[in-house]
Amino acid sequence: MDAAASYAPTERTVPSRSRERAAYDRETVHSILDAGYLCHLGFVRDGAPVVLPTLYGRVGETLYVHGSTGSRPARLAGGAEPGLPVCLTVTHVDGLVLARSAFHHSMNYRSVVVHGTAYPVTDEAERRTALDALVDHGIPGRSADSRPANAKELAATAVLRLDLVEVSAKVRAGGPNDDPEDLALPYWSGVVPLAPVHGAPVPAADLDPSIAVPEYLSTL
């Protein structure tokens, strides 16, 4: 793997265990990020950790998160010395792994952990690109089929950027890893697959009934 195709591992992106599950190639990392829209954003406030669920979008080698200008991460990132150290984590659960032993129970998953510093985005074009990416991450094509933010809404919205530099993915797939001496035990073992499933779209109570469900929702 050449350097351009992967992120350079660092001391904090090399896991202390299960190193064989770690991956640093951009293709794996991007595919995990692009399969989701919800991240858990960690930051430090008054010396203590805070972890908040929030939406994200990826544009090339940058992730964007947004929030009210009054939200804590926005205020912390946009202070006198801009920049907030963060850890942004995205996790997809693919299955529950049942081993004969309680000890070897596990989960199939794909996760990405990004370490870095989040900075406020002030350039208006970049802010608009970021907000479109945030809407389109969960629903590809949606940003072009909604009213764009107006000046008042833009003024109320903080956008933070986090560049993909110190990044790792972790993937577990496959069946249980039972110890050989446990294989004859009388317990079922295997995997229960798990995936998020979209239900039928529910129109807003005040939606004009002549407006049909858009095509991009049927392909989610």
Q: Name which of residues 134 to 173 contact a copy of itself (CB under 8 A).
A: 135, 138-139, 142-143, 145-150, 153, 157
Check if the beta carbon of residue 172 is closer than 8 Å to that of residue 106. yes
- Residue 81 main-chain phi, psi, to 5 deg: -115, 90
Residues 16-35, mask of contacts with a copy of itself (x by CB under 8 A): xx------------------
Run of H or E including 62: strand 62-68
Pick from 103, 123, 124, 165 the residue near a copy of itself by CB under 8 A: 103
As beta bridge partners, residue 25 has: 6
Contact range with a copy of itself by CB under 8 A, out of 2-10, 23-31, 56-64, 180-188: 180-188
Tell me the C-alpha distance between 216 and 138, whole Å: 11
Binding mask 53-82 for a copy of itself (x = CB under 8 A): x-x------------x-xxx--x-------
* Tokens 């295997």 found at: 190
Count of residues that bind a copy of itself according to CB under 8 A: 95
Q: Which amino acid, residue 177? A: N
As measured in angstroms, the least distance from the Cβ of 123 to a copy of itself is: 18
Residues 53, 196, 169: CA angle, nearest 5 degrees: 60
CA angle 79, 81, 86 (to 5 degrees): 75
The smaller minimum CB distance to a copy of itself, of residues 1 and 14, is found at 14
Phi-psi region of 152 (alpha: psi -120 to 50; beta: other; left: phi over 0): alpha
Smallest distance from a copy of itself to CB 161, Å: 17
Nearer to a copy of itself, 79 or 214 (CB): 214
Q: Using only the alpha carbons of the chain, give its radius of gyration.
A: 21
Question: Considering beta carbons, is residue 125 or 184 the nearer one to a copy of itself?
Answer: 184
Phi, psi of 208 (to 5 degrees): -60, 120
Which of residues 1, 44, 165, 173 is near a copy of itself by CB under 8 A?
44
CA-CA distance, 204 to 124, in Å (whole number)? 31
Among 26, 40, 82, 120, binds a copy of itself (CB under 8 A): 40
The residue from 9, 78, 91, 141 that contacts a copy of itself (CB under 8 A) is 91
Closer CB to a copy of itself, residue 59 or residue 93? 93
Q: Is there binding between residue 50 and a copy of itself (CB under 8 A)?
A: yes
